[in-house]
Amino acid sequence: MKTTASEQAGIYDLRTNWPPYTYRDYPEIKPETYNAFLDFLDTENTSKRLMELQPWVSICDSRCSFCYFPTTATSKARIEPYLAVLKKELDMYAKTRYLQTSVFDEIVLGGGTPSVLTAEQMIDLIEYCKARFNITDEYFIKVTGSSKSFDRHKIVKLAEYGTFQMDMGAQTFDNKLRKDFCLPDPAEQVEESIKLARKLGMCVCADILYNLPGQTMDSWVDTLNKCIELDIEVDVYALEVVSDTILDTQIKAGKMPPPGDVEHETQMYLTAYKMLTDAGYKAVGHDRFSREPWHFKESCLNGWPFAAQLTTGAGCFMGYFETFSYSNIEDINQYMDTVNAGRLPINKISESTPEEMMKKVMTRLYLRLPVDKIEFKERFEKTPEEVFGPQLNRLVEKGLLTIDDKEIKITKLGDIWKGNIAWEFAENPRAKNMLK
Ligand SMILES: C[S@@+](CC[C@H](N)C(=O)[O-])C[C@H]1O[C@@H](n2cnc3c(N)ncnc32)[C@H](O)[C@@H]1O
Ligand code: SF4
């Protein structure tokens, strides 16, 4: 599988898997940005793009050692009061002119682990959204969770209710690794939940991780084969060791080896790419491999960055409305107090200037989407070449991009480096690892 080493030589020293223009870079909210956002919500949605509605249940029944998501342990969360507040926040948005003139084609329970709720609570929350927002006749419901809490009863109820997709944090089917990274249930249980969901006609998308400390190539290949055998979609994530996670502490204390180097990580990615594409999967979105045609045309993906996505709940960080992007307060109690005080629970917000929007458009390449040159010119009165000539030339020369009359696209080689490519167009000191 090490056939592309020469192709990769001389491209980048390190893979950057996290793109620019995400919540990690948003400034803290200030009264003026809060007010500008409220003014924006008072306007009509003229984008003509379908949206995704994403209420988060940022509660988990255990902590995976690598996880950096802001979640609260089930033992410390009061679920019913949290759901009541989440509904209040949804109401606050539902009453605005922008949302009243918006249409959704997806409702996604995200998090965290919404599967810690009962089936009835999950369905009630979806019904609540359907009653308050404009939803298309043909819409999709997705529910995120882990096999720890997706029991048989919940899976059956969700399938009967018409849930299209179960998003499952599988991580690995290697039981030794599962123990090492504090995943409490065995691989057999993950497999059983997936098989049941598939039997009941649901699409399943499993998150799987590579370059975990101690993970061999054989173990990775076994996990990929299991996903192919189970006939599921996969979100293939490279492990990122984030400060202050349990794993970070273990590595710093010498209790756990560090992840593999860039060569090891890249080979694992290329192995996944080859195995999955050979099995008929297509690379789509930031990290997905899919055989489900609907995933290629999902509006929530294709509309970036001109559309909008309403995300609510403690710690949510993927909300955006055209030029505004925001994240919510992480601490669940502070989140609840803020909503109860009648305020949107936003902790960080960024409003992009037209120059920044041009750069944001280029992050479509990170999402494996083309940049439409005609639309770019219509919106910004300049071509991408006029704005980003030197970067585009360098990336085309290195074989990472192709450009024709209509669009800019990443190549197969560019796919490995799509995070780095997105940073080439950003103006930020975190973009240190530039093209050689
Ligand atoms: C936060 S979870 C939300 C859904 C659900 N709780 C779960 O476990 O899948 C989304 C996915 O992010 C990925 N993830 C979490 N921490 C990560 C890290 N440090 N590096 C890379 N991916 C990570 C995991 O694969 C996880 O399944
Ligand atoms: S990976 Fe998922 S289940 Fe694990 S701690 Fe993070 S959010 Fe919770």
Helix, strand or coil, per DSSP, at residue 275: helix
pLDDT of residue 8: 63
State in Å: Cα 408 to ligand 2 middle: 35
Q: Confidence class of residue 293 from pLDDT cuts 50, 70 and 90?
A: confident
Mutate to test the pocket of ligand 1, among 67, 194, 311, 330 (most ligand atoms within 8 A of CB): 67
pTM of the model: 0.94
What is the mean predicted confidence (pLDDT) over 4-22?
77
Beta-carbon contacts of 332 under 8 Å, excluding residues fewer than 6 positions away, are 58, 59, 72, 76, 77, 82, 314, 315
Establish whether residue 423 lines the binding site of ligand 1, counting it when its CB lies within 6 angstroms of any ligand atom: no
Q: How confident is the model at residue 2 (pLDDT cuts 50, 70, 90)?
A: very low
In the block, which residue shows the tokens 């120059």? 355
**Distance from Cα 386 to the centre of ligand 1, integer Å:** 38
CB of 316 within 8 A of CB of 371?
A: no
DSSP 430: T
pLDDT score of 381: 97
User: Mind listing the pLDDT tens digit for each residue in 55-109?
Assistant: 999 999 999 999 999 999 999 999 999 999 999 999 999 999 999 999 999 999 9
Q: Is 353-436 a CATH 3.40.50.970 domain?
A: no
Element (H, E) at 426: none
**Domain extents in the chain:** 19-302, 353-436
Ligand 2 centre distance from Cα of residue 315 (Å): 13
- Whether residue 9 has pLDDT greater than 90: no
Q: Token pair of 285, please?
A: 């979105």
Give the span between the Cα atoms of 391 and 405, in whole angstroms.
Answer: 18
Q: How far is the CA of 112 from the centre of ligand 2 (A)?
A: 6
| Greatest alpha-carbon span in the chain | 59
Helix and strand numbers (H, E) in the chain are 19, 17
Ligand 2 neighbourhood includes 64 CB (under 6 angstroms): yes
Alpha helices by DSSP H, 207-366:
217-230, 246-252, 262-278, 294-297, 299-302, 332-340, 354-362
378-397 pLDDT, tens digit each: 999 999 999 999 999 999 99
Token pair recorded at residue 61: 């029944």
67 CA closest ligand 2 atom index:
6
Q: Please report how many Cα atoms fall inside a 13 Å half-sphere around the Cα of residue 173, on the Cβ side.
A: 21
Homologous superfamily in CATH for domain 19-302: tm_1862 like domain (3.80.30.20)
